[in-house]
Amino acid sequence: SSELTQDPAVSVALGQTVRITCQGDSLRRYYASWYQQKPGQAPVVVMYGKNNRPSGIPDRFSGSSSGNTASLTITGAQAEDEADYYCNSRNSSGNHVVFGGGTTVTVL
């Protein structure tokens, strides 16, 4: 089992808001980064650090962190946001890199 826990799937109505969470003890010492992966494509980072969006990522994506939980929020979800989302950090000992199991976001 992963040291970072994500819900397997969430759905959101078009234009509504969805929050994806990632839990793990290491998140008290490490900010999670978040990756969007669409079918047949390599993952792309959409959020890192406290709330940093790489160039080209829409501002409807935002991040937050509290205690052992990191969150990625999509405000006004679009059809193109339908994808798998993975969180990433170090493990609780800080000596290895780990990923959450991924959350499939479906836009209805």
Kindly list the residues in this chain that would bind another protein in the complex (CB under 8 A). 2, 28-33, 35, 37, 42-45, 48-50, 52, 54, 84, 86, 88-90, 95-102
Q: How far is the CB of 81 from another protein (least distance, A)?
A: 19
Closest to another protein by CB, 90 or 107: 90
Name the β-bridge partners of 62.
73
Closest to another protein by CB, 14 or 29: 29
Measure the CA–CA gap between 28 and 56, rounded to whole angstroms. 28
Q: How far is the CB of 13 from another protein (least distance, A)?
A: 26
β-pairing, 103-107 with 9-12? Answer: parallel
**Half-sphere CA count of 22, side-chain side, radius 13 A:** 34
